[in-house]
A and B are shown apart, each in its own frame.
Chain A
Amino acid sequence: MDNILSVLVFFPAIAGLLGFVVDKKSARAYGITVAAIEFLLSLWLWFSFDTSNAGMQFVEMIPLIPDFGVNYYLGVDGISLFIIIMATLMTLIGMMSMSIEKDVKNMIITLLFLEMTMVGVFVALDAIIFYLFWELSLVPMLYIVGAWGGPLRVYAAIKFFLYTFMGSLVMLVGMLFVAYVYHNLTGVWSFAITDWYALVLPVNYQLWLFAAFFLGFAIKVPMFPFHTWLPYAHGQAPTIGSVILAAVLLKMGTYGFVRFSLPMFPDASVMMITPIAVISIVMIIYTAMVAYAQKDMKQVIAYSSVSHMGIIMLGIFALNSEGIGGSVFQMLSHGIVSGALFMLVGVIYDRRHTKLMSEFGGLASVMPKYAVIFGIMLMASVGLPLTIGFVGEFLVLLGFYDVSPIMTILAGTSIIVGAVYMLSLYKKSFFGPITKEENKTLKDLTPKESWSLIPLVAIVIWLGVYPKPVLDPINKSVNAMLVFMDEKAITAEAKEMIKVPHAATKTGEVK
């Protein structure tokens, strides 16, 4: 299959369109089937992926507006490959576990469209195509929160939409400006990211452009202080919305930094290390404390997402292979773990229609299976070795230590403050005597719920014990990117800070 990427992008959308004619009763089964096929396709992508090649693979290019250099241009490398697989997996699992009764068919169609936009963002190699999918992804999410959400859903949905949209517009201006500069320098128009990589920009241009892209990405991540849309969105969104939002949509922001900001603006990135590290540390500590203060289980997980995204941001700006590789791995890890945690909160919400921790207590006695899976995800979330959560966090902190020991120690408090809010959540909800009468008769996980969660548990342990199959391709592409950034950097400081691993220089892996 030469155009596997196009198939991956448009298969869910086409299936979604066909979904309109599917009978309401079978909509769920239809959706799961489509999502499963899509997931298998993404696995097939992995199997046919050439792990020895650090560059873009499965490239497709069809000119769209040749005069302006806008192309339908897709490709994947080690960095995007696994995020795509995670996106298709979480869509599938999310659908399998979905407990929504109202307008199931609409939900399925919406999710399939959302899947198209998510995959689209991660395979796009043309800035315009990237922007298109990036913005389109807002619409299904707006609908999911606005139509299936809680009492404040309209406020939350509009806040989410307008806030992230505003950031993206600034990013779009930045993109247009890059294309304009490219045209000035080369005489041709191009929106291809790979063309833009070759552009060596003066430092002041880099700084302005970095700022423009930063606003778009930072709101999406979300970085402090742009994060306040997130608790509202999670608080109001139905479980499936939160799962997709936390697992995949947030990763678009961090992916954007890796795909655009770093290779395009290496000097600006080096200059921005300190400010971004400071913001990341604030994210890590401050939101972990805010998470500890929450009364609502779901809000704890929502704020913990911001805290974990801080770790990811920190690793990206370590500008060495350990840090960036760890960040990309942590994106996957956070996707799986936070997705699972949101599903787990959904499980108890379906039973009790409340998420307040004070309503629970002693759940471990009545719902042992639930408690076990929650416990495993908790341990992955606090970064226990041999779970998926450790690998990324460890590599990020290790990587950043080379940049600044003091800041690493501050960021490293994440292993303490993270344990504080997660263990306190677990103690309040699962331990102690059962105080509420309603909780005494709660049913443990249903087969549907178990079958959605067990695969995630398996992945959490598998990639914790043996992360190599995923880490190697990521590492390869990251190394290639670093080599290339190092060559391209203008300032001496940037050349100094961008660390090319010995492994990459020895074999002369230059793209």
Chain B
Amino acid sequence: MRYSELTRQYFERAPCAGTLAGPDVVSGVAGRRPLGTWVRFDLRIAPAAARGPQILEARFLAFGCPHTIAVAAWVAEQAAGRPASAELPQPVDALRRSFEVPVEKLGRLLVVEDAWRAATAAAAKK
């Protein structure tokens, strides 16, 4: 399969791969390895501000195709300094276009989104 330059870059560098630990860290997981895609986000959350919880830093783990890894890495990289809202830094369809993800792989990006939403939901409960 041919990958876009952006996908290749983020797949190869995989910035923010890893985990976070501490009382100020929340996690969100989606997907299943036996089904081929699994993603986890760890978010370090700043104390609640007027605009709600803020993300200080983010890490990800991903078992999946290069598109899944690249998009998860990009999302984690973009997260720092953003509010911990359920919305991804870019909507799934925009991410699909940016990374030139084949439409039949849309489901894999939805797993990334589900993991993100699970993490931000956990942040909202803190």
Answer whether A and B are interacting partners. Answer: no
